[in-house]
Amino acid sequence: MLDLSMYLVMGSQDCPNHDPITILEQAIEGGITCFQFREKNSGRSWADIIALGKRLRQICADHQIPFIVNDRVDLGMILEADGIHVGQDDLPAAEVRKLIGSHRILGVSAKTTEQAHQAVQNGADYIGVGPMFETVSKPDASAPIGPEAIKHIRKNLPQFPIVGIGGITPERTAPVISAGADGVAVISAITQAESPLKATQRFIEQIALARK
Ligand SMILES: Cc1ncc(COP(=O)(O)OP(=O)(O)O)c(N)n1
Ligand SMILES: Cc1nc(C(=O)O)sc1CCOP(=O)(O)O
Ligand SMILES: [Mg+2]
């Protein structure tokens, strides 16, 4: 079963201090349970993106970590991804489900209960809800909707897999989990940490504490 507890999202644009390979390896050692390759406006050529994606994909495969590709079904197919994540302005989720078949994971962004219900109908396996807090990693992000948004969605979808995203740090993990999220999706608090390993371990501790 898909474990969304600690979901690292990353592209080379998010990695000013360490290279993406090192970050992914440390994050896996630290305990991530899912990974999304989200290469956005990095200025890299497609050849470079595919070469990087293949290396990250192999590392995930070696450690049995699900490898999800953001936005692009074509890139997902090239990289033999385990799944695709799409937002409200991307390819329609129902069409993506048809393209990727029933055996791959489909993640869909949702901010409201209505969008969440629609995502379920369209064949989503999980929803990403955000931004929880102010984020430095997505220039086109909307205003924060906070853990309250997860509380509302959780009331209406008691069993469906939900991950919170946007501005989440170890200190801000407990409110997201307590609101009903199955896990947290994180970019900068891991990719820009001095030690991605220690940062991931701190998240894992906070998730465990919040679930007690
Ligand atoms: C786990 C997760 N949740 C939400 C998003 C955001 O997707 P989207 O709204 O399509 O924005 P971009 O990531 O494409 O900028 C996500 N990527 N992952
Ligand atoms: C990719 C993404 N999606 C968001 C949403 O709200 O849907 S917020 C976001 C950026 C998350 O990065 P950080 O952990 O550095 O804030
Ligand atoms: Mg998108």
Query: Domain of 129?
Result: 6-211
In a domain, 197, yes or no: yes
Mean pLDDT on 105-118 = 98
Model ipTM over 0.90? yes
In a domain, 78, yes or no: yes
For 78, half-sphere exposure in the C-beta direction (CA atoms, 13 angstrom radius) is: 16
For residues 7 and 27, what is the distance between their CA atoms, to the nearest angstrom? 10
**Is there an atom of ligand 2 within 6 Å of 186 CB?**
yes
At residue 179, the pLDDT reads 98
Q: What pLDDT score does 12 carry?
A: 97
Q: Which of 186, 177, 121 is nearest to 154 (CA)?
A: 177
Ligand 2 centroid vs 131 CA: distance in angstroms? 6
For residue 31, the model assigns a pLDDT of: 98
Query: Of 177, 32, 1, 184, which Cα lies nearest the Cα of 105?
Result: 1
**Cα(8)–Cα(37) distance, rounded to whole angstroms?**
9
CA of 87 to the centre of ligand 1 (A): 6
Q: Give per-residue pLDDT as tens, 28-68.
A: 999 999 999 999 999 999 999 999 999 999 999 999 999 99
165 lines ligand 2 (CB under 6 A): yes
Whether residue 91 has its Cβ less than 6 Å from ligand 1:
no
* Cis before 131 (ω within 30): yes
36 is in an annotated binding site: yes
Catalytic residues, by residue number, are 38, 109, 138
Nearest to 130 by CA among 144, 118, 117: 144
Question: 84, exposed or middle or buried, with CB in 10 Å at 0-12, 13-18, 19+?
Answer: buried
Would you say residue 129 lies in a domain? yes
Q: How many domains does the chain have?
A: 1
CATH of the domain at 166: 3.20.20.70
Q: What is the pLDDT, as a whole number, of residue 90?
A: 98
Please check whether residue 192 lies inside any domain of the structure.
yes
Tens-digit pLDDT profile for residues 169-211: 999 999 999 999 999 999 999 999 999 999 999 999 999 999 9
Question: How many CA atoms are closer than 13 Å to the CA of 55, on its beta-carbon side?
Answer: 14
Asked whether residue 1 is assigned to any structural domain, the reply reads no
* Residue 38 in marked binding region: yes
Ligand 3 center from residue 91 Cα (angstroms): 9
